[in-house]
Every structure is written in C-alpha cells, then in structure tokens.
Structure 1
C-alpha cells in the first residue's frame, strides 16, 4: 500500500487538518474499483430497495451498451492512468445480459482503462435456469467471480420473498457457477417471514455443503419504499433474530470461514476484494443508471451519481456533456470522517489508524472526540494504532457509527 502523506501548504486554515486552504491533500491516491450497474430484473422483489426495474421481453441491450460506452468515455478523464483493482457488475440482474454483451463491456474496459490481466471481475447472477446457462460464456469473457442471489433453499420462503427461482434451480445454478469459475459467493438471508431457527440453520448448512469460498449472510430488513415496508410480513422478533445471527456465525466459522465483515464470510484468500476496497474507503467509479462514484484528487474527494431511470440515463449519456451525472459534490471534512468510519467499522479487524489519514487527508484529531465517546461506551477498542469495534460495538454497529456523524 502506498502511504499517503498530508501535503503541507502555506496559508492553510490552521485547524490541524492538512490540505489546500483547509481541504484534504493527498500525494498518492487509493485503489480504484469499477462498478457497473445493470438496472433490469424479471421481477422486483418485495424487500428490494436497489435501483432495479422490471422489464418484460428482450432487454435494450445494444442501446445500453452504447450508453455505457458514452458514460465511460466521459468518466475516463477523472481516472486517467489509474490502475483498476476490481470490477463488479451489480443490479438489478446483470445475468440478464448475454455473454456477448459482457464480453463487449469488458473489452471496452480494457481499451479505455488500465485493467490488469488478473483483475477480480465479479458478476451478480440470479439462479434462474436461463441465466445459469450463460455462466460459461461469462467466464470466457473474463468474469472470474460469480455472486449468486440464492437467499434460501426453502421453496416456501423463496415464494414469500418474491424470488422467481426455486431451490432445485438454486442448487443447479451453484454447480454450474462452480464449473465456470473458481470463485463463487452465495448470498443468503435469514430472519425471513415466519422462519424458525431450525429452518435458518438448514439453509446455512446446505450452503456450506457446496464448498464455495465465500458466503454473504444478511439479516432481512424492511427497507423504506419497498412492498415489505408497506405490507410488513410476520418476521422473527429481535430475540429470535439475534439467535439466528449467532447460529449463522457459529456454523460458518466452524466450517473454516472467517467473518471478516459484518455480513461476509470467506475461506482463506477468498475475501471479496471489491467490497474490501469500499470498506477501506478506496475510490470507485460507478457507471450505468443510478451508479455512484467516489473519486479522489490531489486536493479534494468528490461524489457523483448518475440518473436513476434507465431510459433517461441512456438518453442523457449518449447526448454527452455529462448530462447523465445528476449529482456532483465535494466531500466536506465532516463527510469524510463519517463516511470513512461508516465503512471501516464494518470490518472485524478494523483498520490501522494511519489509514484514516491516508484516505481522507485529515488528522486523527478530527475524530478523536467521537473515538473517546465510543470507547467510554464500550463500543470501540481504546488506542489509535488500530480503529476496531469491540464485540459489543459490532453487535450495535449502527449506534457506533452514529457517534461519528457530526
């Protein structure tokens, strides 16, 4: 890792925070990831709050590819010359795109960006039979990691979640993904509608039996502006949910998985490098409808957001002049402090204190009062060499993160 050192500049605001006129200053830049958003899905799940849109019939694949190229061309000047450390196709349902489309997109990335030959390229996929049949083609295009949205192996629970696949299709898709690529992640959810502890345990045991290198195990949450928020299903209470979470962790860790992040479990050398870059406050360029970016420059760190609606994004991106970027702002000191801690505290090992300085350009003095409060509450381990949540802090992560919200 290159060390970032605050740039001493004459005439800065004398507030103990380095940078040009009080702004953070960096002499090296953090790793850069690339995120690609594919917005369409066959059916919008009732719990989903992502930027996904139901689409019947064929996708406007050619129009999407042309807009994606236009989006990329307009974004390249902000990241010119920087090496891309990871690529992630998210959605929506990226596996609705043909293998030929994924091949063309990855070809664009290699033409426009500094993409190493062995870069981690992840594609999210649904276990539907039609999509699973494409996995070998994705691998030939350059995808080397597939993340499958399994959610459960219980047909009744899958119906309640609005999933369009059944358990048999999930099992078949896992086997097809494992034949196509070496690295496979399974997404599972627990605390499902009317789920028992035994049902939760059976799901996790079955997932572990496939021998994949990575598991993402999420607690179902009823997010605002979703069908489940408007019509809440009957879900396990807090006590049962906590018991499920503890059992999930026990089973995964007993099978040789390291719980390296709140919801992520990996065997040795199988951690998701793309997500690790997020949690360590690295940079990422997001292209596609609704995609977000965080880009560092020598004297500032900025955020961008693309137009959310697919048709509007395609039209605006192809018109040029950056019209598809609907939000562009520079992060303030308070933004940087909170966003860094929001991500870093998700990691079990936390981060070295120096990484806060390296990635934000700020002094640790900027967060010292919040650190003291969190330590006094037993949520954060004392000391500045490593910033890490205590077991209690990890259990009450939202409370810990809010200590850093100015």
Structure 2
C-alpha cells in the first residue's frame, strides 16, 4: 500500500493545499489550423486551407502570441516542441525554419529537445521533409490511418496507400524518429483488413506507432451520420491482435494507444500524461501552466483569422479562456492522465504536480486496489492489468 503522508488541516477542518515547491517540466505546442479538407471523424480545430496560405500573417501572429505568454514562463527550460494541426506540413520549409528560429530566439530549448511535426502523406515531398529535418525537426508524425484505399476514401483522407508508403520513406530519410498514426475499427472493416494495416505499418520498422480505435466524436460528420462499424467482439479481436503483433516486433505498449521501440517513447506526449506543463500557441491551442500557488489553464480563440487579428493587438483578446483550476478538480485531472501510462507515475508526482497531499485521494486509491483496478505498489500510482483494460471505470473512481 501507498503510505499515508502528513496532511495539514486548516482551521474549520478543510485540507490545506500546499504550495508547489517544484514546477514540472514545460513543453510547447504550436497549432497550425489548416487542412486541405476536414475529415468526417475529426473534432480537432482544423479549417479548410484558403486559396493562398497566409504564412507571413500566421508567423507574425504566432510571434505576438508567444511574446505575450513569455512572462508566464520566464526562465523555464522547454523540454519538447510539438507542431500539430491541422496539417503543419502544408507550411513551406522556409516557414518552418522561420518558426523554429523564432522559438530558439525566445525560449531556452533543452539541447536534446524532441521537436515533432505532424504531416499528412497527401502533402509529403522528399525535398520539403529533408528541409524540415535540416531546420531542426527531430521527429515526424505521419497521419497514415490506413493502407487500404477504400478505407482511406471512407475516412475522407486526401492520400492513397501508395502516397502513404512514399511519405514514410521521405520521413525516414529526413529524421531518425518517425511515428505512424494508424486507426482500426474503421467503417465496415474486417479483422483481416485491420491486421493488414498493422502488419504493413510494422514492416517499415519506424521508432513509434500510435494505434487508435476509431471513435465517433461529437460535432463531427460521423457523429451526425454514423457509418457501419465493426462489432464490439471484432474490435476487441483487432485490439488483442495488434497488441501481440507489436510486442512480437519489439514495441513496448507504454500508453493506451502508444507503442515505441526502446528509447523512442514520445517525450512530448509523455509530459502530458505525467501532468507536466505545456504552453500552447496558435488558434485554439490550450495551455496548462503551474505557479507556486496555482495552476492555470488557457485556450486561444479557435478561428484562425480572428486569432491572427487579435494576437497582433497584444491585449490578450486572443485568449478565449484564462482560469485558475479549482483545487477540487486537480485529483481527477491528474489521474485521468497518469493512469494512461502502463507503468504509471511515481506517487510523489501527485503532490509535486497538484500541490495537494496524497491523503486527498488515498481512500479512493484503497478502494481501487480492493477492486483489483490499481496496483498496490508502495511508490507508484499504476493501473493493474484489469484496471488498464477497464481504464474508464478506474479513472471515474477519482471523480469524487
């Protein structure tokens, strides 16, 4: 069992929230909002690309957004950068180079910082990917989704299987670390078709795979017009098979949907799951920033043009939300992330990163252990095998 730490009580009987004595690692997220077209399953902040991509205006607004955020993170080292979207690979090589130069000028990037760029195979070019690598991109994440042309068409993707395979080659030539996003339980997909996609992805021997079960998210075309999906039994068979296949090929299943070769876990995403801090800049980007006496969440205006117009005014009107997280919400937020990791997190992280004593959640920890959902490890917060399989049930215990 996890030992009960000392807890201080305020007059009146409420638990005193201790100060954060050590700020967690800080990552940077940069959002590029444009796509050639929006996929029917996508609920991210993406918008159809205008006739002329406004790179110059976007970079000017990005600079203004970052400059206004600097006082919140002054002096803190940045451990990773993730350029996501949308489709960041729509940006020219010169635009990415200018962006990275700006980030280095303003922020103390860790020398070994992982710098990831998301890319769509339909926008992949060998010369452009090579230039990304020369600019300082260290990791490319490709949205493959499937190697089946019919499945890709049903998902609204702009690439075909041949383009997907070519893009993987371009990425592997450009950088050492390459992630492939592949989805399963697609509309009318058979178990054999799902396994073909996974086996094809494994054949490229990339350093990382992200294997996602298709979900029908609210406010998407698929939610409004649901396609015919595989049965729960078929979906479970797909998942069991892909877990075994990835293990057979030397991948560690270290997070719910993430599989990595040894030494190649996604550092940026891992920081999220360990309840680290992140500054998000760009339209619709979210931030979680810790201070000695509070934790703040922010979000930017979602519409790209509105964000660009407001950011350059430098009066913070580009912020759609800027609030201090209620102390009572922090335990669930922490556990929602930490329990996604197969090995969990050190128990000390809870107090270090929420500012609360572990005693706040100790009754729920004991309840989860009694149910067989949490590992009774003396120094880690970690789901059991059963708890990882029924992760939502385990996480919901901490809502109280």
Aligned to 1:99: 93
Q: Would you say the 8 A contact 1:126–1:132 is kept in 2? A: no
Query: In 2, distance between residues paired with 1:171 and 1:211?
Result: 12
Residue matched to 2:308: 314
Worse-superposed segment, 67-76 or 47-56: 47-56
Query: Do the aligned partners of residues 384 and 9 (structure 1) sit closer, same or farther apart at CA in structure 2, a change above 3 Å counting?
Result: closer
**For 1:318 and 1:310, how far apart are their aligned partners in 2?**
13
Q: Cα offset for 1:255? A: 0.3
Q: Relative to structure 1, is the Cα distance of residues 197 and 207 closer, same or farther in structure 2, using a 3 angstrom cutoff?
A: same
Q: Which residue of structure 2 aligns with residue 333 of structure 1?
A: 327
Structure-2 residue corresponding to 1:205: 199
Which position in structure 2 is the counterpart of 1:3?
none
Structure 2 residue 141 is the aligned partner of structure 1 residue 147: yes
Asked if 1:344 corresponds to 2:338, the answer is yes
Mapping of residues 6-405 of structure 1, within 5 Å: 15-19=14-18, 25-131=19-125, 133-405=127-399
Alignment size in residue pairs: 396
**How has the CA–CA distance of structure 1 residues 111 and 381 changed in structure 2, closer, same or farther, with 3 Å as cutoff?**
same
Normalised by the length of structure 2, the TM-score is 0.96
User: 1:329 and 1:198 mapped to 2: Cα distance?
Assistant: 48
RMSD: 1.8
Cα separation, partners in 2 of 1:17 and 1:169, compared to 1, 3 Å: same
Runs of 5+ consecutive residues of structure 1 not aligned to the other structure: 1-5, 20-24
Structure 1 residue 278 displacement after superposition: 0.4
Residue 256 of structure 2 contacts residue 342 of structure 2 at CA under 8 Å; is this kept in 1? yes
1:380–1:393 Cα contact (<8 Å) kept: yes
Structure 1 residue runs of 4+, over 4 Å off? 8-14, 129-133
TM-score when normalising by structure 1: 0.94
Question: Structure 1 56/366 Cα, relative in aligned 2: closer, same or farther at 3 Å?
Answer: same
- d(CA) in 2 for partners of 1:164 and 1:231? 20
Give the match's secondary structure for 1:123: strand
